[in-house]
A and B are shown apart, each in its own frame.
Chain A
Amino acid sequence: MKRTILALLAAIAAASAPVVAGEAWAQGKYVHANNSGYDNLDPHAIFDVGRAASRINFYDGLYRWVDNPPKMIPWLAESHTASADGKTWTFKLRKGVKFHDGSEFTADDVIYSIERMLAMKKGAASLFLPIIAPGSTKAPDKYTVVFTLKEPSAIFLATVPEILVVNSKLVKKNEKDGDWGQAWLARNVASSGSYKLKRYDPAIGFVGERFKEHFAGWGPKAFDEIEFRTVLETNTRVQGMIKGDFQGTDGYLPYDQILRLKEAKNVQILEAESMRVFYFSMHNGRSLMNDVHFRKALAYAFDYDGFIKDILKGAVARNPSPNPNNLWGAPKDLKGFTYDLEKAKAELAQVKEPLRPITIGTLAGFSETEQAAALLQNGAKKIGIEIKIESAPWPVVQSRMQDRDKNYDMVPLWKSTYYVDPNNWVGELYGSRYIGTRNSSYTKDAELDKWIDEALATNDQEKRRVLYEKAATKVAEQAMGIFVYNTKWYGPYAANIGGIRFSPIGSGQDMRWAYYK
């Protein structure tokens, strides 16, 4: 009998024995393990960091973010001019650009794309809905596009790379009942982008095939094929990297995992400063939480050192304000809070209102948020504040944060880079014009609003820097959130890969530059 069992085990082992690793390399194929599902390929429907790869590798924008510190390079557009009042923006387009189907890219495609975004009202549309009216974008000729803004906006240019251009003729052919081709584009690609869609299964991921005629040209050793697979479990991604099943994965793994990957010979870890601030979002618009002394008590009750040095092994840098330290607009000499229970008690003593249990919502699957919440819970308990932790998936947490009444008291999370401008952080998180969307602190502070609005209306960088520094300082000092660290990016890639161009936008998943050494 024992023999039967052994035989069975042997059969299983034999069936699975030589897992061929590294074979992919020979064919110039790159396999990436991603932490979210590619369930929709429509570049105008999705906008989250986790699903950036399909947007970046399949689609082109007028400009493109590359490198770190991030810079914008001309892409489908060659140049632009802005009118003196900051409202009219004219873009000169590149000539002779071909879509995947061989047809030519023109200004009509840009106009169709922006109108499609404004009509669908999904994804990145929220960046443009407040400043561009439908039908206001014009094409004086085949290679010129003119945007006319409703009001001057200092961040418009920084958001232009998010206008990804679809092949309008092809999409129009596949429109159904005026849906702007949404059903079709969810599973198909119509673009001029670096890769053509070769295979797609929403449950698995996608394969892109190099578009050899791409206008930007190619390096001699660029990948012929890129495959992005959904692998939700962190450990599976890490083990797969070590075994050689994957050649890359996301660069914001828990640091314990990075240490493991560093020991693997076939894996390299690329390090880069990033702009992704980890903080506790606080609901400033609710009883008790609107008391500055109560918020300060909490800010003194978080063990910053225990978190950064022990749990994250010192892999990140303390960031005391909402603005990332490595971007202009971050206050220079800001001290920030420390873990000091005596000061916390002193602040708490000044709170007049009766205490109540505080709720923290954590992001399921992101263990760092749970660990941070547990640490704060522990510190708060020592000064007599009870904290309850509720864990939920990101979409759930997010939708609750946008609702003033259903929002948690606090949420530990990251604010990632959607565009490189301090407004992405302190502006969106604390300007009252963003309440109900990205301002989930429900802060409505006349002084902050004045600074933020002023900074949006001018293109004078020096003036803007001062304003954002003032705003960030006030937010930090009044503990409108608990600001912990700015992430470093640790991009795990197979050791024989070169040419990864990391940019905080796109998180190092823009594969057109990379190659096997």
Chain B
Amino acid sequence: MRRLEMILSRLVWFVPTMAGLVIIVFLISNVIPTDPVRVLLGENATAPQIEAMRIKLGYDQPVWVQLARHFRDIVSGNLGISIYSQRPISEDLISRLPATLELTLAAITLSVALGIPLGVISALKRNSLLDHILRVISVSGLAIAAFWLALLLQFFFAMKLGVAPLNSRIDGFGPTPVTGFMIIDSLLDWDMESLHSALSHIALPALTLALPAAATIVRFTRAGVLDVINSNHVLYQRAMGLPPGLIVWKYVLRNALISTVTQIGLIFGVLVTNAVIVETVFDWPGMGTFAVQSILQSDHKAIIGFTIWIGALIVIVNLLVDITHSFIDPRGTR
């Protein structure tokens, strides 16, 4: 019952949150000193050309009229036309969503695969040299600028060693798009060359994204495992003579996983933040590069469109995390 209540109240708040977001971003992008119409028409445009286009696009209207139109468009699912590419923004975003999802999912997988075992080991062997090294690495992972880490990886693996490509998602255009996920699509086509290419292209950006996230997971897992180990419950089990290995896997890990799931929402936020920058460095054709380009080109409608999508994405992920959490750990339902 409480679970349902929580979900419902979140859903009810979703709409005003998004509306607020639209207003804020609309106001921000409206102060931009650049004239979108001139950007659209380019350096050869004449005054009558500009005037005609301004009226056509509604930029001659007062700000509130523009905002109202904007809401009307968004509700009807139309995010407008990008000033720069002159194509529908929703179309751009849809075509770029899989790239970003593929990258962030790969990064989450990688960070969980690295973070949880390392965190558990760090806790079990606490105060050993290994523990100290891991802690230094995990503190460092959070202090390193994502774009610089990206450059470092490019420097070593792509430029010096030449074992990884520098940028983009795949050589050429890749397999027939079905899901938009290069890895899945190449499996569907059973095209091993594409699969290989996709994997090698995603390695560096995913690693860049995964390292700070893995650092966070190591820290939480370590703390979580230590908490459980020192809890009376485990002490009791140990006193009962259960083998330590079983205790670790059965009791300790389960609890550690619960705390990690809770953190995934947080980690996802960090990942999306970093993805914006990392995609830019790797020319990854996802929503992050789209956002940075739109902002740099003062493409108002594209900026608003991106913000709505990413906002919705984060709200939905957080909701999913809360729901999952309420299942795994019914005590903690808030």
Residues of A within 8 A of B (CB): 1, 4, 8, 12-13, 15-17, 19-20, 31, 37, 39-40, 42, 45-48, 121-127, 129-130, 182-183, 186-187, 199, 201-204, 207, 227, 229-233, 236, 239-240, 243, 245, 364, 393, 395-396, 398-403, 406, 436-438
Q: Which residue of chain B has the shortest Cβ distance to A232 in the bound complex? A: B283
**6 A-B residue pairs with CB within 8 Å:** A4-B117, A19-B165, A20-B171, A182-B86, A245-B165, A396-B298
* B207/A12 in contact, CB under 8 A: yes
Q: Which residue of chain A has the shortest Cβ distance to B161 in the bound complex? A: A13
Taken together as a complex, chains A and B put the C-alpha atoms of A438 and B40 apart, in Å, by 15
CB distance from A359 to the nearest CB of B (A): 13
5 closest residue pairs by CB, A with B:
A16-B200, A39-B85, A203-B285, A126-B44, A399-B38
Given contacts A202-B85, A245-B165, A403-B38, 14 further A-B contacts (CB under 8 A): A12-B157, A16-B200, A16-B203, A48-B42, A183-B88, A204-B173, A230-B283, A233-B281, A239-B158, A398-B43, A399-B35, A399-B298, A406-B33, A438-B43
* A203/B99 in contact, CB under 8 A: yes
Stretch of B8-16, B47-55, B259-267 lying at the A interface: B47-55
Provided the pairs A47-B42, A236-B283 are in contact, do residues A395 and B84 lie with their beta carbons within 8 angstroms?
yes
Interface residues on B, range: 35 or more
The one of B39, B82, B165 that contacts A399, using a Cβ cutoff of 8 Å:
B39
* A15/B285 in contact, CB under 8 A: no
* A16/B165 in contact, CB under 8 A: yes
Q: B307 contacts the other chain (Cβ, under 8 Å)?
A: no
* B35/A42 in contact, CB under 8 A: no
CB distance from A393 to the nearest CB of B (A): 4
CB distance from A207 to the nearest CB of B (A): 6
Q: B179 contacts the other chain (Cβ, under 8 Å)?
A: no
Q: Which residue of chain A has the shortest Cβ distance to B198 in the bound complex? A: A15
Provided the pairs A37-B293, A399-B34 are in contact, do residues A15 and B199 lie with their beta carbons within 8 angstroms?
yes
Q: Which residue of chain B has the shortest Cβ distance to A435 in the bound complex? A: B47
* A396/B34 in contact, CB under 8 A: yes
Residues of B within 8 A of A16 (CB): 157, 163-165, 199-201, 203
Provided the pairs A15-B200, A399-B39 are in contact, do residues A202 and B44 lie with their beta carbons within 8 angstroms?
no
Of A129, A204, A232, most buried by chain B (CB within 10 Å of CB) is A204
Within 8 A of A (CB), among B94-116: 95-96, 99, 114
Residues of B within 8 A of A15 (CB): 196, 199-200, 203
Taken together as a complex, chains A and B put the C-alpha atoms of A401 and B42 apart, in Å, by 11
Residues of A within 8 A of B39 (CB): 395-396, 398-399
Provided the pairs A15-B200, A123-B42 are in contact, do residues A239 and B85 lie with their beta carbons within 8 angstroms?
no
CB distance from A164 to the nearest CB of B (A): 15
The one of A40, A122, A232 that contacts B41, using a Cβ cutoff of 8 Å:
A122
Residues of A within 8 A of B41 (CB): 121-122
Taken together as a complex, chains A and B put the C-alpha atoms of A243 and B42 apart, in Å, by 35
Q: Which residue of chain B has the shortest Cβ distance to A403 in the bound complex? A: B35
CB distance from B104 to the nearest CB of A (A): 17
Provided the pairs A45-B86, A204-B285 are in contact, do residues A436 and B168 lie with their beta carbons within 8 angstroms?
no
Taken together as a complex, chains A and B put the C-alpha atoms of A18 and B91 apart, in Å, by 35
Q: B57 contacts the other chain (Cβ, under 8 Å)?
A: no
Q: B58 contacts the other chain (Cβ, under 8 Å)?
A: no
Residues of B within 8 A of A40 (CB): 85-87
* A39/B87 in contact, CB under 8 A: yes
Provided the pairs A40-B87, A202-B85, A203-B285 are in contact, do residues A437 and B46 lie with their beta carbons within 8 angstroms?
yes
Within 8 A of A (CB), among B270-328: 281, 283, 285, 289-290, 293, 296-298
Residues of B within 8 A of A436 (CB): 46-47
